[in-house]
Amino acid sequence: MFAGKVAVMKNHFLLRHGRLREPWLWPWRGLLRACAVAVSLGLWANLPCEPAFAAEPVHAIAMHGTPKYVAGFTHFDYVNPDAPKGGAFNLGVLGGFDSLNPLIVKGVSARGIREHTLESLLGRSLDEPFSLYGLLAQTVEVDDERTYVEFTLNPAARFSDGAPVTPEDVLFSWELLKTKGRPNHRSYYSKVARAEKVGERGVRFTFGGDVDREMPLIMGLMPILAKHAIDPGTFEQTTLQPLIGSGAYIAEEIDPGGSVIFRRNRDYWGRDLPVMRGKSNFDSIRYEYFRDNNTLFEAFKKGLYDARPEDDPTRWATAYDFPAVTDGRVVVETFETGVPKGMSAFVFNTRRKPFDDIRVREALIRLFDFEWINRTLYHGLYARTQSYFEGSELSSVGRAATQAERALLAGWSEGVRGDILDGSFRLPETDGSGRDREGLRAALDLLKAAGFETRQGQLVDPQSGQPFAFELLVANKEQERLALSYSRSLKRAGITASVRLVDAAQFERRRISYDFDMIQNFWFASLSPGNEQTFYWGSDAARIDGTRNYAGIANPAVDAMIQALLAARERSDFVDAVRALDRVLISGAYMIPLFHLPRQWMARKAWIGVPGTVSLYGYDFDTWWAKAQ
């Protein structure tokens, strides 16, 4: 019996640390966990003799742990389930469009096509990190290793032309998008080794190669197209003919490049589904296009559209005092969110000297005077970004590392600073004067340690006599304004930063080939970071043109933390792995973190109803409705 206990505990340890390699033991993982707990509590005699593990159809799937909403739930918490239907909702957007197909590379697609007219097998809950519930699919089934996913279609599912949604439509959509869709579709859907119809209403996707635990959810979010209404031979061409989908709306009135009106489908099949109740409430949604931001804002002031998200601090601080706001016809409000703010930063290209020296990078971080810049350029409305997962439970800042994090980082202790490990880290602050002496002195000390010295007010490499100078590449006037402000701070340290504004095409060419010293960039972050992290920060990505590892990060500790988060099964293990990754990235000083809006800013017409509870993502137009007037 003792030997049996030892074997169970050993295998549980191997399972916990990703080392359980024997395939015959994989189906027993749940039992091994239970055994380990029972042994520790002295309950060995009560253990079951056989594994109780069997894949079965369920109503929902979560990336980690279990979904929030149990089978039989009626609606999401962040909707008004009794919201009335009716009214017209108008939105203003920048730019134009020349296509109504958002699933291909060619053309610029009109806004709203994917959201309003095309549905996926499963629908996403916005008050969970990453959980999906039945939409076109009534149930979903996966095995413990997630080597396959099987969907059973809802027999009521219909396209807008009345045709039923069939397994053949699902298989057709997968094949079409795998070969002719956008790059992300081609990449992900190619991981399917076999796709097949199961029974009358089922479809099974079996995955090949290394197991990717995210793939069942990715397949659940695949847009489903009507096989009978699409010619694969012309699918990749831009078109102004709307795609036939199964969504709550139909694109009916199209003014090429100018506007699109979506009409609610009175015969929409899914109106009573739990994932749809309280949503898609307006009878019509109109997207009107404007060429520049000033015109867009003036149109809102004149009442030409109904809601405007704002991201300009100057405009938010000074421009929302027009008559419709003062007399109450327009409501100005903010929304809190629980999702990461993303990382906006000046990025060091560590492939180039002197940015390959962490002391130089830390010195330049010291010389960024956020307090002065925020006050003089942005009315003090921005908050400093401290973490790669700022504003969420995934951030390590302000939190001491857990024992699980410390175990993950044990082999990489030299790569994580003590203050970052114990949670006391904060980016350097200045006195806000624009001439902070203490920060300048600390930066010069770091630069001196890196081998530089000051000669006649200029920082130079004493070996070569070359001055410390680099180019800060920017893509627009707003980036240029910020870069010029930063360059003035660098000049006080004897560093010459030449700010160069180039057009969008040239900026992109240089960015994807890493032909720059420093650029400004933004990385989106979610509550469920996954495979994209290797593309952002992985060592392999640093050596391949076209990835988003612009900093050139090639750190084995980063790679190890990414692998840990990809292997995590439970949410707690996942959070530990992401926070450990955050600590390693912050310790590497690969970029100068900039700032973010602390909350969402919104102006809307007063006749619009908004749920009292918002999701983790803040506002959601799809849950709004027209009040009785």
Distance CA 320, CA 305 (A): 15
87-264 CATH pick, 3.30.565.10, 3.40.190.10, 3.10.180.10, 3.40.50.300: 3.40.190.10
CB 558 within 8 A of CB 537: yes
User: For the chain, what is the radius of gyration of the CA atoms?
Assistant: 27
Distance CA 341, CA 384 (A): 11
Q: For residue range 319-337, list pLDDT tens digits in order.
A: 999 999 999 999 999 999 9
Q: Which of 614, 619, 625, 616 is nearest to 603 (CA)?
A: 619
Does the structural domain 343-596 have CATH classification 3.40.50.300? no
And the tokens for 87?
A: 């009214």
Q: What is the pLDDT of residue 212?
A: 86
**Which DSSP string do the residues of 125-177 spell out, in sequence order?**
-TTSSSEEEESSEEEEEE-TT-SEEEEEE-TT-B-TTSPBP-HHHHHHHHHHH
Q: Give the Cβ contact number of residue 601 at 10 Å.
A: 20
Eight-class DSSP state of 24:
G
Among the ranges given (45-59, 437-451, 500-514, 572-586), the one the predictor scored with the smallest mean pLDDT: 45-59
Q: What is the pLDDT of residue 549?
A: 96
Q: Which of 113, 157, 118 is nearest to 262 (CA)?
A: 113
Q: For residue range 127-151, list pLDDT tens digits in order.
A: 999 999 999 999 999 999 999 999 9
The answer, yes or no, to whether residue 612 has pLDDT greater than 60, is: yes
Per cent of the chain over pLDDT 90 is: 84
Q: Which of 404, 364, 361, 373 is nearest to 585 (CA)?
A: 361
Q: Which of 517, 360, 380 is nearest to 452 (CA)?
A: 360
pLDDT bucket at 54, cuts 50 / 70 / 90: low
Q: Please, what is the average pLDDT of the chain?
A: 90
Q: For residue range 57-76, list pLDDT tens digits in order.
A: 999 999 999 999 999 999 99
Q: What is the pLDDT of residue 52?
A: 38
Q: What is the pLDDT of residue 136?
A: 98
Question: How far apart, in Å, are the Cα atoms of 423 and each of 358, 389, 439, 526, 558?
Answer: 21, 14, 22, 22, 19
- Return all residues near 508 (Cβ < 8 A) that are at least 6 apart: none
Query: Long-range contacts for 102-105 (Cβ within 8 Å, ≥24 apart)?
Result: 103/177, 103/181, 103/182, 103/185, 103/223, 104/180, 104/181, 104/182, 104/235, 104/236, 104/238, 105/182, 105/183, 105/236
- Whether this prediction's pTM lies above 0.85 is answered by no
The answer, yes or no, to whether residue 48 has pLDDT greater than 70, is: no
And the tokens for 49?
A: 């003799």
- Return all residues near 255 (Cβ < 8 A) that are at least 6 apart: none
The answer, yes or no, to whether residue 446 has pLDDT greater than 50, is: yes
Q: What is the pLDDT of residue 415?
A: 86
Q: Which of 582, 617, 240 is nearest to 386 (CA)?
A: 582
The answer, yes or no, to whether residue 42 has pLDDT greater than 60, is: no
**Which DSSP string do the residues of 410-460 spell out, in sequence order?**
GGGGGGS-HHHHTT--------SSS--HHHHHHHHHHHHHTT-EEETTEEE
Q: What is the pLDDT of residue 11?
A: 41
Q: For residue range 91-120, list pLDDT tens digits in order.
A: 999 989 999 999 998 988 999 999 999 999
Q: What is the pLDDT of residue 413?
A: 79
Q: For residue range 498-539, list pLDDT tens digits in order.
A: 999 999 889 999 999 999 999 999 999 999 999 899 999 999
Give the max Cα distance, the chain: 82
- Return all residues near 363 (Cβ < 8 A) that are at least 6 apart: 442, 443, 444, 446, 447, 450, 493
Burial class (CB in 10 A: 0-12, 13-18, 19+), 553: buried
Q: What is the pLDDT of residue 9?
A: 36
